[in-house]
Amino acid sequence: MASTILIVLSYNIYWGGHRQPLENTIEVIRKSGADLVGIQENVNREYEDQTTEIAKALGFSYVHHAILESMEKNGGGGKKLRARWIQQAGQSTLSRHPITAQSLGGSGIQVELPSGEKVWMFNTHLWHYPYVPYQLMNVDYYQGYSIDPDTPNTEAQAINSARIAHETEITKVLWDIQSVIASGETIFLTGDFNEPSHLDWTKEAAQAGLHPLKVAFPTSIQVTEAGLKDAFRQLYPDPVAVPGFTWPAGTYPETPDSSVTDPADRIDFVYFTGKKVKVKNVQRIGEASETSDISFPKYPSDHRAVLVTFDL
């Protein structure tokens, strides 16, 4: 039986791609050749969901997870849509192939491939603060407290802060994944996790100066203990030789402290599980050839996208 090649993209488009014409964001997805796309931050600065326009231009099916509510504007009769930035808000999942079902928790879709095989695609965007790398740099970000990197219990404090930020959210997503995992079908999980990986912040990486210390970040541990594998680290297991940073792409325009260089990190992921699925290739899409495998001179996002080619 011939194998099936499937290309999965995780892409935080940065507030609906608002800094540039939306066509630039669409072009990134189009040229990636992705079959399944997990988009994070699908609304622009006017809180308008860009999913429909993106999907229409690509000829893709989609499910959007942004939760929009109508609210009174300045106490008058006018109404405005605004995003409620909670779990599963601000995300969309796009598919080149037909969508046949949605998961119980709403964070995943089932897709039928031309071969007749069915796969699941989950997508998430975890809360953006507290952000541990900023805390370790004493950068004031949403009033997050500082963590002294030179104290004996620094790692424990970092782990606790990450759990406060993300444990409830990722537990919901993993419960949703567990609701379909018994089917035996291949499962993908994309997302901007706003938290580094325990596979990256190792003792060796700290000694190499890539990170201030070793931290066993809990969210990536929770995902891998649930049976999913990190596609990037499957292909590039050494975080010192290949850090694979996805954040920030170029100069972050809203950095909380312009006097401090934003710490480079890998916070965008494609996870997977399945009996026969294998990672064939992993590429980062971004702003320059020095930092990305595929680059665009007018790259519209502050995150590098992660593009994974799977062999099913």
**Segment 190-221, tens digit of pLDDT:** 999 999 999 999 999 999 999 999 999 999 99
Flag whether pLDDT at 70 surpasses 50: no
Size of the chain, expressed as the number of residues it contains: 312
**CA pair distance 64, 260, nearest whole angstrom:** 35
Average pLDDT estimate for 272-280: 96
Does the pLDDT value for residue 182 go beyond 50? yes
CA distance 69 to 78: 13
Q: 278-286 and 91-95 as β-strands: parallel, antiparallel, unpaired?
A: unpaired
123 or 257, greater pLDDT: 123
Query: Mean pLDDT throughout 159-188?
Result: 95
Q: Name the pLDDT band for 87 (thresholds 50, 70, 90).
A: very low
Q: 229 to each of 11, 123, 273, how far by Cα in Å?
A: 18, 15, 6
Q: Is the Cβ–Cβ distance between 189 and 173 less than 8 Å? A: yes
Q: Which of 1-5, 80-84, 213-217, 253-257 has the lowest mean pLDDT?
A: 80-84
Rg (CA), the chain: 19
| Most distant CA pair in the chain, distance | 64
- CATH class of the domain comprising 5-311: alpha beta
Q: What are phi and psi of 145, to 5 degrees?
A: -75, 155
**Cβ-contact 39, 123 below 8 angstroms:** yes
H/E element holding 307?
A: strand 305-311
Mean residue pLDDT across the chain: 91
Q: Across residues 103-116, what is the average pLDDT?
A: 94
107-121, 125-139, 249-263: segment of lowest average pLDDT? 249-263
Query: What SS3 state is found at 268?
Result: strand
Segment 47-63 shows an average pLDDT of: 95
Q: Of the ranges 151-160, 222-231, 233-242, 248-257, which one carries the lowest mean pLDDT score?
A: 248-257
**DSSP states of 106-126:** SSEEEEE-TTS-EEEEEEEE-
Q: Is pLDDT above 80 for 117?
A: yes
Angle CA 223–240–311, to nearest 5: 50
Phi-psi map region of 297: left, alpha, beta (phi>0 left; psi -120 to 50 alpha):
alpha
- Residues 16, 48: Cα–Cα separation, whole Å: 8
pLDDT for the residue numbered 258: 85
Cis status, amide bond into 130, omega within 30 of 0? yes
pLDDT of residue 69: 42
CA distances from 12 to 28, 153, 206 (A): 12, 33, 27
The residue that leads in pLDDT, 293 or 254, is 293
* Cα→Cα distances 170→83, 167, 201, 302, Å: 20, 5, 19, 23
Six-digit token pair at 151?
Answer: 């104290």
Judge residue 35's burial from the number of C-beta atoms within 10 Å of its C-beta, 0-12 exposed, 13-18 middle, 19 or more buried.
Answer: buried
- Residue 86 reports pLDDT greater than 60: no
pLDDT above 70: residue 68: no
Tokens representing 253 are 């325009």
pLDDT band at 67 (very low <50, low <70, confident <90, very high): very low
Residue 85 pLDDT greater than 50, yes or no:
no
Is residue 38 a contact partner of residue 312, using CB atoms and an 8 Å limit?
Answer: no
Reported confidence tier of residue 155, pLDDT bands at 50, 70, 90:
very high
Q: How far apart are CA 128 and CA 130, in angstroms?
A: 6
| Domain segments of the chain as ranges | 5-311
CA pair distance 188, 63, nearest whole angstrom: 15
Per-residue pLDDT tens over the stretch 227-237: 999 999 999 99
* Average pLDDT score over residue span 285-295: 97
> From CA 176, how far away is CA 98, in angstroms rounded?
21
pTM here is 0.93
What is residue 84's predicted lDDT score, i.e. its pLDDT?
A: 36
pLDDT the model gives residue 81: 38
Confidence of residue 1 (pLDDT cuts 50, 70, 90): low
Q: How confident is the model at residue 3 (pLDDT cuts 50, 70, 90)?
A: confident
